[in-house]
Chain A
Amino acid sequence: MLHLLMIISDVLIGIGAFFALIGVLGILFMPDVFSRMQASTCVTTLGIIGVCLGALLHAIFIVGSPSSAVKIALIGLLVLVTNPVGSHALARGAYRAGIRPEQPMEIDELGRDSQ
């Protein structure tokens, strides 16, 4: 039973690690700022959900400490709720600061409307 739980939590953490790797690769190789932001969203959604679920299983069933389980769940919730606000503010600030991709966007309705 304990081995099965350990395997499940390892698989969950592995899923999180895979999507974190995807996010970091996207940040390194995507062509412009906004696409990099999109790729970094991978880390903050499935990456952190996978890691927190796996660590939660570990903390509840294998280590058996409820206080650290609550803290892990809080970390996951905090990142999931607050991180979109940050990336929204950053995208808006980057666009207003005049940062544009090198290859012009084909559909740019914000640029069209703010003329």
Chain B
Amino acid sequence: MNQTDLIIFAVFFGALAVTCLIRLVAGPTGADRMVAADTADVLLCCAMLLFSIYSGRGIYLDIAIIGAMLGVVNTMLVGRFLAKGRREEHAASADDHQ
């Protein structure tokens, strides 16, 4: 059966994920980079899902599930880190003032 359309879409999603890396390199702050990385993760999941149907191998689907799970954990960790780090810095500078 002709399934060329699937591989075309998969390559398109992969190209979009690579385009996200521009923001990952250029982003002025850490949060920018994390947004770009999270989006690239979701796009790569889409690409892997399509490629799995194209090639008929189920293993890519498992990789995509793990990627989707761990991407969210990464984002949450960076968010918690940003929130916490600043507060401790505040506390340190308040100590300096006293």
Contacts and interface: CB of A to CB of B under 8 A. Distances in A.
Interface of A: 6, 10, 13-14, 16-17, 20-21, 23-24, 27-28, 33, 36-37, 40, 43-44, 47-48, 51-52, 55, 58-59, 62-63, 65, 67-68, 71-72, 74-75, 78-79, 82-83, 85-94, 96-99
A68 B86 contact: no
Contacts of A79: 42, 45, 68
Contacts of A96: 82-83, 86-87
Contacts of A44: 39, 42
B63 to A, nearest CB: 11
B49 A72 contact: yes
Nearest to A102: B28
Interface in B68-98: 68-69, 71-72, 74-76, 78-83, 85-87
Contacts, number: 153
A68 B46 contact: no
Contacts of A14: 9
13 contacts: A24-B43, A28-B19, A36-B23, A36-B35, A40-B35, A43-B42, A48-B42, A51-B13, A55-B53, A75-B45, A75-B49, A82-B72, A97-B86
